[in-house]
Structure 1
Amino acid sequence: MGDRVTLMTKRVGTLVAAEATYGVPPDVGDYAALLCNEGVDITVNGEKIERNVVTPTFSPVPSAVGTKSNQISPTVELRGGGLSEAGALLAPDWEPMFLACSMKKREVVRLDIESITGTFEVDDVVTGGGSAATGTVYHIDGDTLVLSGVSGEFQAAETVSGGTSGATASVSAAHEAFEYRPATLEPKDQASASMRFFKHSHLWLINGLRGTWSLDCQDGKIPTLSFTMSGLYADPADSVLPTQTFTNLIGPVFMGVGLTIDDYVPIFEALKLDLSADVQPRKDANHTNGMCEMYVAGRTPKGSMDPEADSLANYNVWELWKNAAVAKLACTVGNTPGNRWRIEVPQVTHEDPKYGDKSGITKYDISFTATDSGTGDREIRMTLF
């Protein structure tokens, strides 16, 4: 037995990496430091096997442990990755976990346009009059064309035209962006992550992580993403807490976000989104721990917000609820390139509304489900630009 070691509660290290093959840890050099909020810790889950045996006494017999898994629930700030020295957009440090929640990433260009004539259409090929850049309209966010498959660089102040629609507009700004949205994928196609979690000098290597996330936005505070990630069990080992290099970006504060519900601009304090992914163990008696993987089996994205009550002529939440009408909810958090987020819920379906109180002012407590228009996997869009 060596010298006694004291573990300090606040000495914690978390490193994360994307897995190329499910359950196979990447090279140590591929892991990057994850800047977490206080409270991140590991939970060990095991099925307790009660043994159905008979003895001459009332004394219990030892139980056994069946299938085992690890769970970790880090909370991070909703921050971007900033820009490289060359000005290229960088992904956030928590992206491997985000993608492991059965999310898909798409590189797009957001064209803010004005002086519009005609109507641009989805799948329109847009061409820049001066730059000759081209891109296909993936979707339209108000007066912003979101383009995929972009070739060249669109320029501010140039005129763009739609190849099919014939619409034209002037570009006020062009932004490189990463758009994240939910995906429906078979287990073999779902991304997974690996984590090296240090509880001071105890190292837990958690492979095959998949999970879900929730977003909490409060007025005057930095929005947070809370992850619940489940992975394959492995025994901890004694190790040395490594030196880590963290991002120096601070998440943008939730103020001046320009949130709208369709065309209505509410007075509100809080917005919450929850992917509510259904994460399940895939049991396998051939596997050492009784399961071969964790996988996302489905999702029911939900959310809530608390707008002040207004005249029914301006905003009739009861009518929206009664008719199961859908509304688009959207806002932008931050204004620094590489550290700003566009949050869109294209189709909000209201659940049972309730009156509430906000320091003597009547408000609504609204819960909603993020639904899809039929094209699939577009209930939520979160875009870093």
Structure 2
Amino acid sequence: MSILTRKTMLYAGIEPAYGTLPAFNDSTSPILIENADYKLDLQNIDRPLYRADLSPTPDMIGRKISKLSFTHELRGSGTVGSESRLGRLLRACSLVAENKASAWWGAFLPIGNVGGAPTVAWTTGGSLSGITEPKTLLIDVTTGGLSGTAEMTITADDGTAAQAGVDMISGTAATLTTGGLSGATVTPTWSGALIAGQKWIVTVFPAGIKYQPTSVENQQESIALRLYKDGVLHEATGCYGTFKVNAQAGGRATVEFEFTGIYSTPTDAAFPVSPVFESTLPQQVELGRLHVDGFGIAGPLNNPCVVDTFSYDIANKIDPRTSINAANGYTGLRITDRGSSGGIDPEATLVASQDFWTKLANARLMPFGMRVGTTPGNSWYIHAPCVQYTGLTYKDRNGLQALDAALQFNRLNGDDEIMFYAC
């Protein structure tokens, strides 16, 4: 009997304990995927035994580890605060989920270093009611000076009118009018004289689910997978994964997963009778509000940051815990390292508009953000506080000069180099 490629189905469930099968359910376990593959990672043990001839001696087969890979669309559940099935896959790749029941402020991230400038501590207040999408603000000191003399401009990434000439008084709240944040306040506190050109970025997030990496073993969840291939069942327990995100303008964003798990012998098994899949359609990659180091904080029609593709690779390293006392010579798996790299390809500009090359040469650390989707319950925001360029290469894009800009996603305080926010 032949096996058809398209007749493939995946069930996935977070394990109640490491290596323990969850209770798979036709209503909640099926995962819509494509490009599914299964591989057996074998330890071939060579036996170069001496004889009176040069013919090879049969190898031994030692450790056996399962590898399952597939692609999933970057989409939400359709309901704010309700986890999509993509969420459990991310959690099995060292991300921890935190449900945010109401809107909240992210950190105020400085842009660049202005020599001799004082440190400013920011606090927030007022109301964030009615916020249904992330809003990123660029705060720019336009007039330097002491408290009461300094002024700032506040620009939102949604295209609403910027607030210009806002008085900066240390310890005194400034009320926002831009970005649909009327009623919210920001308060700067500092001593000394501010310098024109000091800048910060801050993002306001609506209610949603926050996913960030963890290095703490007991916070990392494992997953069990059942891959049905038209009559053949590949099952793996104790799985941890790694993933890559790819998004291209006008298309759909996808997540490429590879999971490593404990091997089980394949069996013949019919498809589940009544699987229920998610019905939410992915959102088009558009109106992404992509910004890096403040470049791109503008309305959708006058955004100077013109990027066609975005990629991110968490690059989890997964290793077996080798043990003489365990079956197959290993007692499960462990995430032992994380890479976090990616890239964008902005149109090249004059140095006066955006000095990519100096930022690369000086290893400048930069905040980054973008979104996929505009519908509440089906949008994802990608936030990184501390990226840097690690390479720039010119390329042609439809007759326009563009740059392949490699990015490294760095820690700010630890386990915070990337955040995925479903909202």
Q: Please give the TM-score of this superposition, normalised by the length of structure 2.
A: 0.74
| Residue deviations 1:74-110 (CA, integer Å, cap 9, x gap) | 1100001112xxxx52212122221111111111233
Structure 2 CA distance, aligned partners of 1:174 and 1:319? 31
2:75 to 56, 72, 79: 79
Structure 2 CA distance, aligned partners of 1:216 and 1:129? 32
Q: CA deviation at 1:269?
A: 0.4
Residue pair 2:78, 2:280 contacting (<8 A) in 1 also: yes
SS of residue paired to 2:90: helix
- 1:176 has 2:188 as partner: no
**One-letter code aligned to 1:354:** T
Residue pair 1:127, 1:163 contacting (<8 A) in 2 also: no
SS of residue paired to 2:391: coil
Task: Note closer, same or farther for the CA distance 1:215–1:62 as it changes in structure 2 (3 Å cut).
Answer: same
2:293 to 262, 274, 297: 262
1:366 to 391, 394, 405: 405
Structure 2 CA distance, aligned partners of 1:193 and 1:60? 40
Aligned to 1:102: 94
- 1:11 has 2:50 as partner: no
Residue pair 1:82, 1:91 contacting (<8 A) in 2 also: no
Aligned to 1:301: 340
Residue pair 2:367, 2:386 contacting (<8 A) in 1 also: yes
Q: CA deviation at 1:59?
A: 2.7
Aligned to 1:319: 358
Q: CA deviation at 1:312?
A: 0.7
- 1:28 has 2:28 as partner: no
Q: CA deviation at 1:130?
A: 9.7
Structure 1 CA distance, aligned partners of 2:93 and 2:37? 19
Structure 2 CA distance, aligned partners of 1:77 and 1:27? 25
Residue pair 1:205, 1:234 contacting (<8 A) in 2 also: yes
Q: CA deviation at 1:157?
A: 8.4
Aligned to 1:284: 323
Q: CA deviation at 1:358?
A: 1.3
**One-letter code aligned to 1:63:** D
- 1:42 has 2:72 as partner: no
**One-letter code aligned to 2:33:** C
| Residue deviations 1:29-56 (CA, integer Å, cap 9, x gap) | 386100002x201111110011132233
2:268 to 235, 238, 263: 238
Q: CA deviation at 1:14?
A: 0.4
SS of residue paired to 1:289: helix
Moved over 3 A (4+): 126-131, 139-144, 156-165
Structure 1 CA distance, aligned partners of 2:292 and 2:252? 22
Structure 2 CA distance, aligned partners of 1:65 and 1:160? 64
Residue pair 1:209, 1:232 contacting (<8 A) in 2 also: yes
- 1:333 has 2:330 as partner: no
- 1:204 has 2:234 as partner: yes
1:60 to 56, 60, 64: 56
Q: Please give the TM-score of this superposition, normalised by the length of structure 1.
A: 0.81
SS of residue paired to 1:306: strand
**One-letter code aligned to 2:261:** G
SS of residue paired to 2:25: helix
Q: CA deviation at 1:285?
A: 2.1
Identity of aligned residues (%): 24
Gapped regions of structure 2 (runs ≥ 5): 107-119, 139-155, 157-179, 190-203, 297-304
SS of residue paired to 2:207: strand
- 1:251 has 2:282 as partner: yes
What is the number of residues matched between the two proteins? 342
